[in-house]
Every structure is written in structure tokens, then in C-alpha cells.
Structure 1
Amino acid sequence: MRPGIVVRMEARYELFDHTADIGARVVAPTLDALARTAVEALYGVIGSLAVAGSGESARFAYQGDDAAVMIRDWLADLLVEFESHGRCLTDVVVESFDGAHLRAAGVFRAIDASRSEFHREVKAVTYHELALRTVDGGYELVFIVDI
């Protein structure tokens, strides 16, 4: 790379097979973008989801000394909402995430099953191999879901 050229990392995720489970590797330039993209990854494991209706606003707050665990706990709560009420979080906004506190908001909307493609049933977001580390230009999160 030539001096003076700055390459900005884009938030993205990739899924990978992990024994009988599925893993997600999420990279992003900021912790806020990492958490938001992790939500996309969770729903991406489930399938191509279409939503209907205006939805219901929701707010989330987590605190702790492990940023990866806070994201995992948020994803687990979103999975419970999906399984219990058939809704997913849209319009996701991570209001603040400093590694010790995660505050986020969004809108829960009903899944439109007739327009959705379901790929897998996710049973749980696990702690197995859960990791968050800094990488060139940002952060990387790895999490495993039990299918």
C-alpha cells in the first residue's frame, strides 16, 4: 500500500460450517457496526427473512466486562423473540457500545412466512469459541450457533 492511502474496512459477515453447527465471522470498523452486523449474521443463518407490518419499538441495554458476551447475550435475546413470537429486529441502531456497555434499539416486525426462505432452525447462540479481537482497521467477532 502506498503512503497516504487509507483503506476503510466495511462491515460484513461470513458463515462457516462448524462440526454440526454454523459459525459466523463478523468484521467491522467499529464496535457499533460489529454489533449491528452480528444481528444481520444471526438472521442470515436462519434464512432470507421478509417482514410485514409496522412493528413495535424495542430498546436493549447490556453491561459487563466482556464485549463478545454482551453481543452474544443480545443475539440470544433476539433469537428468543424470533422463536417465541415470530418477529425479528429491523431498523437496528446501536446507540452506544464502548466494550463495557451496549445500548441498542430497533423495531420488532412480524416475519412474513409466505415471503421468507427458512434455511435452518437455530436452537441457541453458544459461548463455544466466542471471540472478539481487534484486526487491521477494526474488529472481528466469531460466534457459533447450535442448529
Structure 2
Amino acid sequence: MMPAFGFQEHEHTADWELGVWAPDLPGLLEQSARGMYALSGMQIQDGLRQSHSISLHGEDMETLLVRFLTELLWLEQEKGLGFDEFSIVVDSQNNLHAMLGGSVITKLDKEIKAVTYHNLAVETNQSGLRVTIVFDV
């Protein structure tokens, strides 16, 4: 039996592919972020913590997912920050408000260049939501 939420790397020829599942959209966004960080081998500094808030809008769940992960990549690449605490709220109009807790990145094994829309479709099933995300590396 599959856990209620999680992520798993899939074999892919050129890029990285990640399957993600969760009972709801905030959970799917959090697991997508955790999976992206796991793929890149990210580690953050212990102790000194930083908070960061994000507010985004997406026309649909797929756009919101890509914008959220792209914002996390920007914070990683431009500010050197990674996050391991997520409090995410998404309203019925696909407006996202997130409070993130994290720290300075101390290790990054591989760089993810971008989150793609390649075959991106959030699917609903009896357990909640599922998506496969392809990352450009």
C-alpha cells in the first residue's frame, strides 16, 4: 500500500522525472518541493533558521505547481536558501500563500535548471492528487 503522500524518482533519458502524490494540493506542492530538493542532493545549515513567505497565483494547478517550484529554484540559485518546513494554503481561485522555514544551503550535488511543463498534468484519484514533474538539468 502506497503512503498517503510522497515522491519517487522515475527513470528518464535526459532530464529528471519525479512522481509525486498527496491527499490535497498543498500536500502535493510540499512533496514536490521535498522531492526536487532530494533529487538535487540539497542540504541546509543546521541551527540558524530563516523564514520566507511566498504568494503566487496560477490559472490552474499545473501552473501553480510550476510557479511554486520555480520560485524555490530562484531562492536556491539567487539567495542560496533551501527550505524544509512548509505551511501552504491554496484558495479556490488558485492563490497560494506559503510560509517557508529553512536555512542557507551547505551542499548541492546537482543543479536543476528549470521546472518544465512536459507532460505535466495533475490527476485526481481516490487517494487524492498525483503528478509527474520533469526537471531540466
Compute the TM-score of the two structures, normalised by the length of structure 1.
0.82
Which blocks of at least 5 consecutive residues in structure 2 are unaligned? none
Q: Distance in 1 between matches of 2:28 and 2:130?
A: 8
Paired letter, 1:94: I
Structure with a larger share of its residues in strand:
1
Match of 1:95 in 2: 89
Equivalent position of 1:73 in the other structure: 67
TM-score (ref. length: structure 2): 0.88
Taking every aligned residue pair, what percent have the same amino acid on both sides?
25
Q: Deviations over 1:84-134 (max 9, x none)?
A: 222102211113354622211112410123xxx62x221111111111010
Where structure 1 has 5 or more consecutive residues not aligned to the other structure, the ranges are 1-6
From the superposition, tell whether residues 14 and 94 of structure 1 become closer, same or farther in structure 2 (CA, over 3 Å): same
Aligned length: 137
Q: Which runs of 4+ in 1 moved over 6 A?
A: none
* SS of aligned partner of 2:4: coil
Q: How does 1:45-124 map to 2 (within 5 A)?
A: 45-98=39-92, 100-113=94-107, 118=109, 120-124=110-114
Please tell me whether Structure 1 or Structure 2 has the larger radius of gyration of its CA atoms: 1
Which amino acid letter does the alignment assign opposite residue 81 of structure 1? L
